[in-house]
Amino acid sequence: MTHAYISGTGFYVPPEVVSNEVLREKYGIDTTHEWIVQRTGIEERRFAAAGVGTSDLALHASRDAIERAGLTPRDLDMILLATLSPDHAFPGSGVYLQEKLGLCTGDSPKFVPALDIRNQCSGFVYGLATASSMVESGRCKHVLLVGAETHSAALDLSTDGRTISSLFGDGAGAVVVSATEEDRGIRGWYLGADGRHADVLSQKVWDIKQRPFIPLNEQGVGQVQPSHMWAHMDGKLVFRNAVERMIGALMQACMDQNLTRDDIDLFFFHQANMRINQYVAQQIGLPEDKVVHNIQRYGNTTAATIPILLAEAERSGRLKRGMKIAMVAFGSGFTWGSVIADW
């Protein structure tokens, strides 16, 4: 029987560190380090430089994961890229990543399929379900799955936008999902969505229902209202649903695998807000040493949070071969999901 396992992990974050104090001093946001930490647990995040896009961040993380899997880009059979901040409205960033990996050039180009996943914070979990299914079906041997975000270009870095802009950072995480006959890898996944709350956490920077979809002024220049240009969030409703859905997704995945919380060695929660994750862990009764965090240093990198967590935990030796792990995420849509895997 063919199983799907994570054969390599990789991550990349831009070099510019933006602390909470930098938000106040450089960008003039009326906030304090204590205010942000108390509400989110975030102390700093990374911002990409001008001219750097999502596929550029994804390239660094992908090369890292591919190398650690003992492969070359030519060994890949498919690319999945999860992001809410693609390089352009279209095409998807997956094809840009494919080209930057060198798959389209040389004596033997390999035009592997490239699929973008638009499930925001739960994009990586949706991607793992897709990648493992493709591998288990026998159609693919190695699938590159990347979560990458360049949030900093689309944040309202002003006092008006501080509630949201203080949350997000830029970064990319990647894994290679490979086939094996060993009894290991992805054991099960559970996904869900509730479109009733689609507008609760959204960024309607362009509305395709309008004609034209970006209004034009008298000079023919497109103008977007601030209410559409920046992300909008009902924080209390998001918090309540995140807690409920993350707990439910974890319980469902564990029940499907006939597991209890004590059978899981490490839990990898999407890094949206430290307070959400702490509350979830408290409600389930998880010991602190079983829950991995890095939101303090990177903020919310949306689709990239879980693969960055995996890569860092593996590098540090905290994540070891043979461990049973759980991953869970919740995000805009609302969408959510969980995955159980034997490392």
Catalytic residue (one of 20, 60, 119, 121):
121
Q: CA 244, CA 23: separation in Å to the nearest integer? A: 32
Flag whether pLDDT at 184 surpasses 90.
yes
Tokens of 267: 């839990």
Rounded Cα distance, 210 and 241, in Å: 31
Please tell me the predicted confidence (pLDDT) of residue 106: 86
pLDDT class of 225 with cuts at 50, 70, 90: confident
270 has catalytic annotation: yes
CA distance 270 to 327: 8
Confidence of residue 256 (pLDDT cuts 50, 70, 90): very high
Q: Do domains 3-182 and 186-199+230-342 have the same CATH topology?
A: yes
**What residue ranges do the domains of the chain occupy?**
3-182, 186-199+230-342
For residue 77 the two structure tokens come to 């059979």
CATH architecture for the domain at 3-182 = 3-Layer(aba) Sandwich (3.40)
How many helices and strands (H and E) does the chain possess? Answer: 11, 14
- Whose CA is closest to 112, among 140, 136, 71, 82? 140
Of residues 119, 273, 277, 300, which has the active-site annotation?
Answer: 300
> Which helix (H) or strand (E) segment is 324 a member of?
strand 324-331
The 10s digit of each residue's pLDDT in 307-341 is 999 999 999 999 999 999 999 999 999 999 999 99
Q: Of 267, 268, 327, 341, whose CA–CA distance to 7 is shortest?
A: 341
* Helix H or strand E segment including 146: strand 142-149
User: 300 an active-site residue?
Assistant: yes
Classify strands 266-269 and 291-292 as parallel, antiparallel or unpaired. Answer: parallel
Q: pLDDT tens digit string along 26-71? A: 999 999 999 999 999 999 999 999 999 999 999 999 999 999 999 9
Top-tier CATH class for 186-199+230-342: alpha beta
pLDDT for 119 equals 94
Catalytic residue selected from 3, 254, 270, 277: 270
Q: Which of 44-48, 253-257, 298-302 has the lowest mean pLDDT?
A: 253-257
Catalytic residue list contains 121: yes
Enter the DSSP assignment of 49. Answer: P
